[in-house]
Amino acid sequence: MVSVDESISRLGEIDTGSSLSESERLRLSNALVAALRRVQSPWDIACSHGWIELTTIFAIKSLIDAGVFTKWAEQGSKPLTANEFAELTGADAVLLARLLRHLAAQHLITEVDEDKYASTPWALSLGTDLALSSIYGTFYHEIQVPLAASMPSFLKEIGFKNPTDVKDGNFQRVHGKNSTFFDFVASSPLRNKDFANAMDCHARGNISPWPEVYDTRNLTDGAKLDRPLVVDVGGSKGHDLEKFLDRHSDVLEGSLVLQDLPHVLEGLAINPAITICPHDFFKPQPVKGARAYYFHIVLHDWPDVQASEILRLTAEAMEPGYSKILIHEDVVSVRDPSVQATVADMTMMMCFSSAERTDQDWQRLISGIPGLQVSKIWRKPYTIGGIIEVDRII
């Protein structure tokens, strides 16, 4: 049996840097979590859920608001003491020492000397990447936390049935009978900004770029030049079309179309190859006969009834034998699913009474739309997210 000292020594040798692919990094991360669970006692786990995670979030958000991470990055992320952070930010040194100590105890930052802390890639990102820091803002405190706290009582009230009614779910229990998630987000400029940034972070950091999962030559080969190539439906800031341009920089101007609600697209600066087209996907698709209609983490927001309607309206705009629907979402494995997929599933349940879907769920949903069929489900081993390729056959 390997001794504790030897195990710790081996763990200290792990330094992925840039040597691992994303799939390898995720495999290693999940294996380390599994190893941690084997050595934790039930009380360790309960303490993490009941105290550590909760207090860590408030410590992080307080440090963000005090300007610690941005000021730290501006100083080149060099090791600093609590007193030095206080001089930079104007915050109380005793308070900062307590908050920083809590993060260092969890190896989010590194204590290199008594009351002196070195930065980490995570801490640097909080000071330089607005999308990452937005996760800890109103997205967490005003959207996620109230809904998560309500969920056990809501499930008990409905007799522990699987929620499927987007108009009468946990969100309405918290915010009122006639409220909707997206209206609530849009009603506050700060919430709207934090939500959009958080979705941008999710798209960049927690799911594989779609041209790395799907062979985009299937779209460019044989494409008709008199119509759009890719329509990104519900595409937010257009980050997925930018990823397509990274691989296909020679596409014609206007051949990529970004669609979302008007308030999302308002004031957006975008690559000239991309045309902005305000659109509500519960209304007929105005772009006809495109090569591909791309949905990235859109349909998981909706139970089957609404998701079917979105797909039906899209199918009406497609050219049989030419157009495709590409659905880029978590595809939940029925065996050994990733926590990234299951946490998304829990989030969809509490926010929308919807769900992440398995292969079989997607096949069932698509087969219910006349003229549509799944041609292939694309995925890379051990990575998050797959692409369901759907053809219009009649």
Identify the pLDDT of residue 207.
Answer: 67
Tens digits of per-residue pLDDT, 16-43? Answer: 666 777 778 888 888 899 999 999 999 9
The model carries a pTM of: 0.86
What positions carry a catalytic annotation?
300
Lowest mean pLDDT among 143-152, 203-212, 341-350: 203-212
What is the separation of C-alpha 355 from the centre of its chain, rounded to a whole number of angstroms?
Answer: 14
Phi, psi of 161 (to 5 degrees): -95, 155
Tens digits of per-residue pLDDT, 259-294? Answer: 999 988 888 888 889 999 999 999 999 999 999 999
Q: Domain residue spans in the chain? A: 20-128, 138-198, 206-392
Please indicate whether the domains covering 20-128 and 206-392 agree at the CATH topology level: no
Q: Is the pLDDT of residue 381 over 90?
A: no
Identify the pLDDT of residue 17.
Answer: 62
Beta strands in the chain (DSSP E): 80-81, 110-113, 116-118, 230-233, 256-260, 274-278, 292-296, 324-329, 331-332, 357-358, 372-379, 386-392
Query: How many Cα atoms occupy the beta-carbon half-sphere of 24 within 13 Å?
Result: 8
Q: What CATH code would you report for 20-128?
A: 1.10.10.10
Q: Is the pLDDT of residue 226 over 70?
A: yes
State in words which class domain 206-392 has: alpha beta
CB-based contact 68:89 (threshold 8 Å): yes
Lowest mean pLDDT among 20-34, 246-260, 293-307: 20-34
Q: Is the pLDDT of residue 182 over 80?
A: yes
In this prediction, residue 319 has a pLDDT band, given cuts at 50, 70 and 90, of very high
Q: Is the pLDDT of residue 206 over 60?
A: no
